[in-house]
Amino acid sequence: MSLQSRMVGVGAFLPPGIVTNEDLGKLMETSDEWIRQRTGIEERRWVAPEVSTSDLALEASKGALEDAGMKAEDIEMIILATLSPDHDFPGTAVFLQEKMGLAEIPTLDIRQQCTGFLYAISVADQYIRCGTYKNILVVGAEVHSKGLDKTTKGRDVSVLFGDGAGAVIMSATEVNDATKDPHLISSSLHTEGKYAKELWLQAPGMANVDTERLTQAVMDEGLHYPQMNGKVVFVHAVKRMSQCLTKVLENTNTSIDDVDVFLFHQANLRINQKVADMMKIPSEKCFNTIQKYGNTTAATIPIGMHDAIKAGVLKPGMLVASAAFGSGFTWAAALWRY
Ligand code: COA
């Protein structure tokens, strides 16, 4: 018998505003055909002006609590992954804690972009297995729409991303039979900082050579919008996701056949198809949501989990393998029994 962590509740929230590829074609020079062919994306969600990242996180968290049959007061810590915080500081988890009306529990923001959710569950798992906390709320939430260059200049990035949030409650569990009992079995986390500038948001920032962190000149250059070297990101994403997923499966003596559902990060359907082809993963085992939501960065994996459960694809007792890649570069994989 050993103390482990498991996911006892899953929630997601997508803002109602649907933005189709045709809608984007009215803002910039792009087309439904280009976006679909290169990425698989058909539509994404954008928030209304008054909605923030912590608002989306709150709704997803409520769903996770309800699914777990728990009250907000049962939560002992919040870990929130986002690259689109409500404000530069304090962290977005602070705002979520206030909105949930929670007492003085610790909050932690994770800044690992598309890999953020897998980093977050791994951190939660450590706290739980040490016996520090029993119930941790882990959230991935993003509002991209307010931070994108929606002109033709920014089209390579802006067509990819969407807004949304997903949340899980991770709780302590005693595992008697590791081959059957739900728990987080293994995770593998990586970073290669030399590629930080291949996908990044330069400004505002204290590393910029100026006396101010944001100047009109910087904004005129568009450095307050994300910049990406799409081809480099694509190649590394395929290589790293397959590499670390293979490592996690090997380390746990798990075969592709053993896994019931593969939940990949949702950056580009072609990336996921390439990873699946290379690893000989049957496409029916891969659950993708990018067609409807675009890339919601730290939220893609919990949203995928939520939708897979609702679709009857992911059922209690099933084995889930996940892999993600993103800005940093960071990448990660994890294996859990739901
Ligand atoms: N609509 C229409 N045309 C576009 C466009 C858009 N939204 N974005 C770029 N283009 C144009 C380019 O300007 C280029 O035109 P040119 O040939 O006249 O110069 C042409 O389309 C091809 O661009 P290219 O960059 O070669 O396309 P690509 O096949 O590499 O696909 C991505 C671009 C972004 C879809 C692809 O590189 C990708 O998905 N990369 C990974 C991105 C990612 O996953 N990011 C998040 C990581 S977590």
**Spelled out in words, what is the top-level CATH class assigned to the domain 183-337?**
alpha beta
> pLDDT (tens digit, 9 = 90+) per residue, 229-239?
999 999 999 99
Mean of pLDDT values over 36-62: 98
Residues with CB under 6 A from ligand 1: 30, 34, 38-39, 114, 155-156, 159-160, 228, 230-231, 233-234, 237, 267-268, 271, 295, 325-326
CA of 166 to the centre of ligand 1 (A): 27
pTM of the model: 0.97
CA of 114 to the centre of ligand 1 (A): 18
pLDDT at 72: 97
Residues 65-82 as b/e (b if ≥16 CB within 10 A, e otherwise) read bebbebeeeebbbbbbbb
Query: Quick check: 209 pLDDT over 90?
Result: no
Residue with the nearest Cα to atom 46 of ligand 1? 267
Cα 82 from Cα 163, distance rounded (Å)? 11
Instruction: Calculate what percentage of the chain has a pLDDT beyond 90.
Output: 98
CA of 38 to the centre of ligand 1 (A): 7
Query: Quick check: 211 pLDDT over 90?
Result: no
Give me the CATH code for the 2-175 domain, please: 3.40.47.10
Band of residue 62 on the pLDDT scale cut at 50, 70, 90: very high
Taking alpha carbons only, the member of 69, 68, 70, 90 closest to residue 80 is: 90
Residue with the nearest Cα to atom 2 of ligand 1? 30
CA of 40 to the centre of ligand 1 (A): 13
> pLDDT (tens digit, 9 = 90+) per residue, 319-328?
999 999 999 9
Instruction: Calculate what percentage of the chain has a pLDDT beyond 70.
Output: 100
Residue with the nearest Cα to atom 32 of ligand 1? 230
Q: Tell me whether domains 2-175 and 183-337 share a fold.
A: yes
Band of residue 228 on the pLDDT scale cut at 50, 70, 90: very high
Domain spans, the chain: 2-175, 183-337
**Active-site positions?**
114, 265, 295
Mutate to test the pocket of ligand 1, among 20, 22, 156 (most ligand atoms within 8 A of CB): 156
pLDDT at 252: 97
- SS3 per-residue string spanning 39-86: HCCCEEECCCCCCCHHHHHHHHHHHHHHHHCCCHHHCCEEEEECCCCC
Residue with the nearest Cα to atom 20 of ligand 1? 156
